[in-house]
Amino acid sequence: MRFGLLCLVLFSVLLSALSQIVLKAGMTSAPVQSAIASLNTMRVIAAVSQSWQVIAGLLCFGCSALVWLAVLSRVPLSTAYPFVALGIAITTAAGLLLFNEPFSTIKVVGVSLIVFGVVAVSLAP
């Protein structure tokens, strides 16, 4: 895969992962959590729709989809799609680093296998 196409694929994956991270931050923020705890659907909708993080995450997700469309128009699906799995590695690491989520040995092994698989696919002719 040409370097420019690889950059486009990785940009889409990074945008997608970033969107998940920002959405997680928004949904775990105090105002949204308070609304969820109230069990009032309208309050939850209001809190979520007023969260800049949720809005930013959704915008980032939309941009990621647009970039992904550009990827699909230029790269074979069987080559491009495995890169989506890198988003799993990125968001798993973000969960550990930003949200203090547990990170077990089995997660390390699983994420390592994902990264190895993506590298193998990217090197295949």
pTM for the whole structure: 0.85
What is the gyration radius of the CA atoms in the chain, in angstroms?
17
Instruction: Give residue 121's pLDDT band: very low, low, confident or very high (50, 70, 90).
Output: confident
**81-118: pLDDT as tens digits:** 888 888 988 999 999 999 999 889 998 899 899 888 88
Instruction: Tell me, letter by letter, the H, E, C secondary structure of the chain.
Output: CCHHHHHHHHHHHHHHHHHHHHHHHHHCCHHHHHHHHHCCHHHHHHHHHCCHHHHHHHHHHHHHHHHHHHHHCCCCHHHHHHHHHHHHHHHHHHHHHHHCCCCCHHHHHHHHHHHHHHHHHHHCC
* % pLDDT > 70, the chain: 100
Q: Which amino acid is it at 62?
A: G
Mean pLDDT (the chain, rounded): 92
Q: Answer whether 36's CB lies under 8 Å from 44's CB.
A: yes
Burial class of residue 2, CB neighbours in 10 A (0-12, 13-18, 19+): exposed
| Residue (of 27, 21, 25) closest to 88 by Cα position | 21
Asked whether residue 42 carries a pLDDT value surpassing 80, the answer given is yes
**List of long-range contacts for 1-4, beta carbons under 8 Å, 24+ apart:** 1/75, 1/79, 1/122
